[in-house]
Structure 1
Amino acid sequence: MQPKQVNPKKFELTINKSQLDDGATYRVVLGNKAGECESTAELKVEKPNILKLVKGLSDVNVDEGQPFTFSCKITGTPKSVKWFKNGKEIDSSDERYKLSSNPETGEYSLSVDSSIPTDSAAFKVIFANDKGDVQSGAVAYVKKGKPKEAEARAPTFISPLKDVDIEEGDTLTLKCQISAEPQPTLKWYCNGEELKPSNRVVMRLALDGTATLRVMDTKKSDAGQYKVVATNPSGSLDSSCKVGVLSSDEMPSPPKFIVPLRSSDAPLGAKAEFNVKVRGVPKPTIRFQLDGKNIPIDNNRITLEDMHDGNWCLTIKEVKEEDFGTLRCVAENENGKDECEAIFDQTGGRKPKARDEEGYPPRFNVPLWDRRVPLGDPMFIECHGM
């Protein structure tokens, strides 16, 4: 702690890198020959509520009738704790599974007093709060009869396939994690047709049960429904997902103005047009503002027209005094927003010179923008200047 006198009438106390035990009631006393005065304040130091897995779930092996417990430990305080068995959420009212939680120590557990064969399953717990979520999974093996006969387990998915969108030409990677004994054989399908290994298609199954499919240099024809089927002597199970292969123009992206607003002027009663061009996926919504307030589009004196291909035109048919000021155009979609602004003035007493007479520095109204193209395809790069 570093007390400091800033000036004859100002004092401060600085605490660098505050810790939990710095939380306390602080008192300052000022005094001189005439007397003294004091002031107090309370400091609370709060620990950031970020969830982190300290100890995850571990697989358990038990004989039928024996108890078992899954336990884990986290830091941070979750708003919700959900347990799952083979992907289905476990109801807290289910008497077979006893759920225990201790937010103070960060310890959480699921217990079974007397196991049965159907308890052989993949279990998972998900902790979540406003900062994000963490999860952990494990498998319970409940043996019935002779140990060797009970070791065989039908495939179960600890982590199933997930839907994904990728850009054309990139590498598609699908992953899932499977628990089974013995290790299952896998078959991958795309739109109902079995995939075979090739120079573009690679399949792997790791010892921990992680199955991976990679498709290099993706094409539009690679899009569709993908499925993996895991089979062993005890049974068969599948998982599926949707894959989208999008061109660069189809990939989700925030709005970006290609042609922004330009400052201009007009006399009272004249017609004024303001044009912009914006890119973004999905298609952005457009609104115009004047001095920070949305311009009402009445489709009579003031209209806003979608000119297609990202071009928009705001038209004021009869300019009034209140139309002058700072114009702003705002484009928004679910991936973000962009804006541009310009000044709209009333034409002065002198006749404005043509731009060609005045001279002006060059500028881009359509600049270069990043592109990706599949190997071997033609590529065009263009820009527009003025």
Structure 2
Amino acid sequence: MARRLLGADSATVFNVQEPEEEAASQEYRVSSCEQRLISEIEYRLERSPVEESGEEVPCGDASVESGVAPFFEMKLKHFKIFEGMPVTFTCRVTGNPKPKTYWFKDGKQISPKNDHYSIWSDPDGTCSLHTAASTLDDDGNYTIMASSPQGRASCTGRLMVQAVNQRGRSPRSPAGQPHGRRSRSRSRDSADEGEPIQERFFRPHFLQAPGDLTVQEGRLCRMDCKVSGLPTPDLSWLLDGKPIRQDSTHKMLVRENGVHSLIIEPVTAQDAGIYTCMATNRAGHNSFSLELVVAAKEAYKPPVFLEKLQNTGVADGFPVRLECRVSGAPPPQIFWKKENESLTHSTDRVSLHQDNYGYVCLLIQGATKDDAGWYTVSAKNEAGIVSCTARLDVYISQH
């Protein structure tokens, strides 16, 4: 197993001749900074919805009348390993009914269909997550959440993955020799250089990132993201690979809850393209990209009559049509009136019609003298309103 060297420059050293499984089980204590990050992830997960896609791994499905909230009898441990080594996170959870469990890496849910991880659970509540060959990208915080109708509980294990070129070597350069180029693992674990444990570095990881967006020209566009990492990462935004500078229409904000926002108002056609958000700190960098599509601003045109109502006369008992044609963008709503009385719906004798070409019609089947009078049709949309009026005369037939 690992042994400790005495003295001010003491560090954990791995014995290369030992089996990889033994070295992979090396545990270590997390720093206060790491513990705060772990607590933040657990707090958020216990209050956020999880994807119920049928991929979750239940620890059991028993149900009883008197329920007991989920509780971890054995919590996840923290591991420090070299890349390529296997590692297994194991815990044991109880509860009545037996809770469902969900695994997360750095706050992002892990699907049981993910080929990189093996996830299983035993009837006694033991739950495990295993990877046969760790990579540098596996470095992070692994959280298991247990959920039942009685409540939620979670615990987190830290996995630190060191680059393989550090294996079997003292992390400090020999006396009298200059330090060589820092490897990726060196920036992840600066405690190897005699710095306090609180100074460990963790590369940025996006806990929240937006997807592709479509925004109408002239509207407001907001892109929100949340990133973890130690030290706190610096964020920069790029459009089609070119840095975005803050100006009167482009603002970059950071809220107290750690959410970073790029706000564009108003959006123009020049804002369309591929946006990349880059997070950088001493441990490395991470990024996400999305496409912003700017939809053309809708052209508003007030209604206009292409054909107006015409004065009409008809003998009583005969049908008659009052007809006009109107255009506008968006297509206007149509309102009819007879004298000062609104005609809001069709009846068996008087019906209202309009088609997709702008033709509007009021049809009377078997006109009577009571149908005579002034008829007004109005067309209205967001850009304006227009009306026209015509007279209907009904003549009494002479026998």
> TM-score normalised by the shorter chain: which range applies?
0.3 to 0.5
Higher helix fraction (1 or 2): 2
TM-score normalised over the length of structure 2: 0.42
Higher strand fraction (1 or 2): 1
Q: Which has the larger radius of gyration?
A: 2
